[in-house]
Amino acid sequence: MQISTSVPYDEQRLRRTLRFLANRQMKPFRILGVVVLVLGAAVLALDPTSSAGYGILAGGLVLLFAVVPITVASGMRMQSEVIKQGYHLSLTDEWAQITYPLAESRFRWQGLNRIVETPEAWYAMFGKAQALTIPKELMTPEQREEFAAFAAHLSK
């Protein structure tokens, strides 16, 4: 396999990647949010005038619905200016390589945990919180087929 493409900076693509990673890490917060919501509802059932019950309920809603957007916004603010210049993506049978004008990263496929496919991209997961985004829209149909077959082979 030899796939090579230029990937311009796309803020929405970066947000989708950060949201993808945050959603994978936030399951415990969502479970805790449901527990806190139930606790708040129980407190309010016993005493509808309890300000603590409303506070607990609000805390549960924050855990359920606000943590991921806050995490994504924070991640966007923490990104280096280097990535805003776009990068060149090169995929071979042995390596995935990203080359920015001022930085470069290479990943051996041997270190891959798994590949997750979404409608917009493949996420090559090297660990639980590190993903290499491989955007589908910048690849030719032949390249998409070739990479899909390669990803299926890696998953076995």
CATH code of the domain containing 105: 2.30.29
- Number of independent structural domains in the chain: 2
Residue 45 forms part of a structural domain: yes
- Residue 62's pLDDT band (boundaries 50, 70, 90)? very high
pLDDT digits (tens, 9 = 90+) for 91-144: 999 999 999 999 999 999 999 999 999 999 999 999 888 899 999 999 999 999
Q: What is the pLDDT of residue 46?
A: 93
Q: What is the pLDDT of residue 129?
A: 82
Whether the per-residue pLDDT at 155 is higher than 80: the answer is no
Whether the per-residue pLDDT at 84 is higher than 80: the answer is yes
Mean pLDDT of 60-71: 92
Same domain? 97 vs 48? no
Residue 17 forms part of a structural domain: no
Q: What is the pLDDT of residue 83?
A: 86
Q: What is the pLDDT of residue 152?
A: 92
Residue 42 forms part of a structural domain: yes
Same domain? 90 vs 147? yes
Same domain? 107 vs 147? yes
Residue 71 forms part of a structural domain: yes
Which residues, 6+ apart, have CB-to-CB distance to 150 below 8 Å?
Answer: 1, 91, 93
Same domain? 73 vs 118? no
Residue 14 forms part of a structural domain: no
String of DSSP letters for the chain: -EEEEEE---HHHHHHHHHHHHHHH-HHHHHHHHHHHHHHHHHHHH-TT-HHHHHHHHHHHHHHHTHHHHHHHHHHHH--GGGGG-EEEEEESSEEEEE-SS-EEEEEGGG--EEEE-SSEEEEESSSS-EEEEESTTS-HHHHHHHHHHHHHHH-
d(CA 15, CA 55): 30
Mean pLDDT of 28-50: 93
Whether the per-residue pLDDT at 156 is higher than 80: the answer is no
Residue 132 forms part of a structural domain: yes
Same domain? 38 vs 65? yes
Whether the per-residue pLDDT at 53 is higher than 80: the answer is yes
Residue 94 forms part of a structural domain: yes
